[in-house]
Structure 1
Amino acid sequence: MTTALRIGHIQPVQVHFDDLDAMGVVHNARYVLLLERALSGYWAEHGWIFNPAQPHFAEIFFMVREFSITYHVPISDVGEAAVHFWVEHLGTSSLVYGFRLLSPGHDVVHAEGRRVQVLLDPATRKPRPIGPALRESLQRLTAVTP
């Protein structure tokens, strides 16, 4: 029996010196930042810039509801890493990203996890439906191979 592989997207990210802790490895809390850098870079490249001055900002006013991560092999150097991410579930007002933090050659999985986000109305801070344009963009990240 074969399992489907999430296609998603692989985004390069930079590991900076200040991401390292006193032991010379990326601090556990910085993995969240590396995912954030990857997602922000990807969405900016696709026209969804996280800027309150942009007219579409209300369409991407997501808040993180849940974040889980499992660490496998520490990242122990500055420079490039990669984040493979995909959309595991796309609901009415929420989505679930799956992700893996990878070595530059994509052969080592440093960590993996999931992040749940909910789209909120900026004025009321209550959940609202994901609009059709963003939904279409998100659906590109849901593809799987047989």
Structure 2
Amino acid sequence: MSTATLDSTTGTIRRAVVHIDDLDIVGIMHNARYALILERAMSEFWAEHGYGFRDGVPSSPDMIAAVREFAITYHAPVRGTGPIQVQFWLDSMGASSAVYGFRFLSEDGATVFADGRRVMIKMDRTGRPTRWTDEARAVAAQLLR
């Protein structure tokens, strides 16, 4: 996946902080932390639009979704604690799927640490794929490339 043509107007950019427990034994951000930090950035975006969980109950049926695919390419290590940026956008939104692109950047945006894609599938309470609501599509439209 090439993200070279992206700019700061694509999708949304969130500030994240790398903490000491995000680092591995050699002092770089552990590979598993990228998925977690991306999840937090995406959750922050959706929470700003009223999507979340309270007392274990989803605020919308669109909150019932699962990751089908997560692919990441590492370009440069994050070599310590402190602020970084997480940029994500939607490449496409199908009837029950959403294909996100993302990248991790240095605080000044000059270094791309990693990029990739994440595919989400909207499900009903039985775990079967189901359509996104019109309300979620309206929010997601802000992220479409």
Same fold judged by TM-score > 0.5?
yes
The aligned residue for residue 130 of structure 1 is 132
Q: Deviations over 1:78-108 (max 9, x none)?
A: 1111111000010000000000001111111
Report the TM-score, using the length of structure 1 for normalisation.
0.89
The aligned residue for residue 102 of structure 1 is 105
Root mean square deviation of aligned Cα:
1.6
Q: Tell me if 1:79 matches 2:82.
A: yes
After TM superposition, list the pairs within 5 Å mapping 1:29-44 onto structure 2. 29-44=32-47
Q: Tell me if 1:113 matches 2:125.
A: no
The answer to whether the 8 A contact 2:23-2:29 is kept is yes
Distance 1:5 1:72 in 2: 16
Q: Tell me if 1:140 matches 2:142.
A: yes
* Runs of 5+ consecutive residues of structure 2 not aligned to the other structure: none
Distance 1:128 1:103 in 2: 37
Q: Deviations over 1:98-133 (max 9, x none)?
A: 0000111111100000000000112x1100000000
Residue 50 and residue 115 in structure 1: after superposition, are their counterparts in 2 closer, same or farther (change >3 A)? Answer: farther
The answer to whether the 8 A contact 2:84-2:104 is kept is yes
The answer to whether the 8 A contact 1:69-1:113 is kept is yes
Alpha-carbon distance, 1:5 to partner? 3.8
The answer to whether the 8 A contact 1:44-1:50 is kept is no
Higher relative contact order (CA 8 A, sep 6+): 1
The answer to whether the 8 A contact 2:28-2:80 is kept is yes
Residue 101 and residue 4 in structure 1: after superposition, are their counterparts in 2 closer, same or farther (change >3 A)? Answer: closer
Q: Describe the SS at the equivalent of 1:140.
A: coil
The code of the aligned residue for 1:137 comes to V
* Runs of 5+ consecutive residues of structure 1 not aligned to the other structure: none
Q: Tell me if 1:70 matches 2:73.
A: yes
Distance 2:52 2:73 in 1: 29
The code of the aligned residue for 1:135 comes to R
